[in-house]
Amino acid sequence: MNKKNLPVIVLLAALAIGTLLPLLEKSTQPGFYVEVVLGGLMSGVLYSLVAMGFALIFKASGVFNFAQGAMVLFAALCIARIAEHVPLWAALGATLVIMTAFAWLIERVVLRPLVNQEGIVLFMATLGVAFFLDGFGQTVWGSDIYTIDLGLAKEPMLILENVFAGGILVNRDDLVAAALAALLLLALALFFQKTATGRALRAVADDHQAAQSVGIPLNRIWVIVWAVAGVVAMVAGTVWGAKLGVQFSLQDVALKALPVVILGGLTSVPGAIVGGLIVGLGEKIAEVFLSPILVKTFDLAGGGIENWFAYVLALLFLLVRPEGLFGERHIDRV
């Protein structure tokens, strides 16, 4: 085994053991434990959806798009407010058009003038885009809390009643979110691996100069990538909005996607999924089962673990594997 991988393996093993540990506790109800795990995985799916947007853009253009969270919020706002007047499917269609137009505009106004600038310059530009979108969304759509109604029954379902005492509560919204994320991942994988455009995107991600020399137009590729990231943001916005309501705090939750991409690797879409699941699961388990222990043993107030767990985990990963679980390892020839 590669010695370099050892710290990562230790870290992952510790995480796995930590996840299973509550089961040893006699007071833990298995049914409740499974509910917590499912709940964690479900919120993980939501993190993944946002993280995928980050990874897509970073991979293709080397830009760390700080505006991804704002794009999620903006897309959710569009859907919620347009759906007040037309059916949901029409609102989704209209939002798709808006996000594509937005991608085109970003390429024209922000990326093209700044081509060949330092990464930090582009990052600052996306920071500006994030705050612009934030305010612009408010200007256009208002700042109340809006709802996206997927037309699903609100009360949770009880499943596996004969396996666990009392059964397990599952939200329908969560199931839809998970299914959508899986579909999206499949669609993206097929698009990237099986189409000529996908191949061109991968080529640009690997080497800008060579991609241009074989006649791949960078500008058009960037529009496509941002449009795809816009679609991902739209899907994320739909499920988040349906679950939590469309409000400006969505943006802050989207920031959780940062530790997720650090975990999974900035350049990897599958990494975004795995990272999201690890973070979602880990923080739920820690919140539910670690808090009481802290309260009991150290007489702390407990709670709030969910807020920092992801970032501490990301910090640990930065120490042992800065490129993330699935990221590209860069070997520079000097």
Partner 1 sequence: MSDARRIGEPVLVVEDISLAFGGVKALANVSFDVRRHEVRAIIGPNGAGKSSMLNVINGVYHPQVGTVTFKGMSQRQVDPHQAARNGIARTFQSLALFKGMSVLDNLMTGRNLKMRSNLLLQAIRIGPAEREEIANREVVERIIDFLEIQAYRKTPVGRLPYGLQKRVDLGRALAMEPELLLLDEPMAGMNIEEKQDMCRFILDVNDEFGTTIVLIEHDMGVVMDLSDRVVVLDYGRLIADGTPDEVRANPEVIRAYLGTTH
* Contact positions vs partner 1 (CB under 8 A): 190-191, 194-197, 199-200, 202-203, 205-207, 209-218, 224, 328, 333
* Minimum distance from residue 193 beta carbon to partner 1 (Å): 9
In the bound complex, what is the minimum distance in angstroms from residue 197's beta carbon to partner 1?
Answer: 6
Closer Cβ to partner 1, 151 or 215, answer by number: 215
Specify the amino acid at residue 211: A
Give which of 302, 244, 233, 268 is closest to 68, Cα–Cα. 233
Q: How far apart are CA 334 and CA 323, in angstroms?
A: 20
Q: How far apart are CA 42 and CA 93, in angstroms?
A: 26
Q: What are phi and psi of 113, to 5 degrees?
A: -65, -25
CB of 206 to partner 1, least distance (A): 4
Which one, 17 or 196, has the nearer CB to partner 1? 196
Nearer to partner 1, 66 or 104 (CB): 104
Judged by beta carbon, residue 224 or residue 236, the one nearer partner 1 is: 224
> What stretch of H or E contains 73?
helix 68-82
- In the chain, the amino acid numbered 108 is R
Nearer to partner 1, 42 or 224 (CB): 224
Q: How many angstroms separate the Cα of 323 from the Cα of each of 140, 268, 305, 317?
A: 39, 10, 25, 9
Min CB(200)–partner 1 separation in Å: 6
Backbone Cα Rg of the chain: 21
CB of 207 or CB of 252, closer to partner 1: 207
Closest contact distance (angstroms) between CB of 331 and partner 1 is 10
Report the sign of the C-alpha dihedral through residues 13, 14, 19, 20, in that order: positive
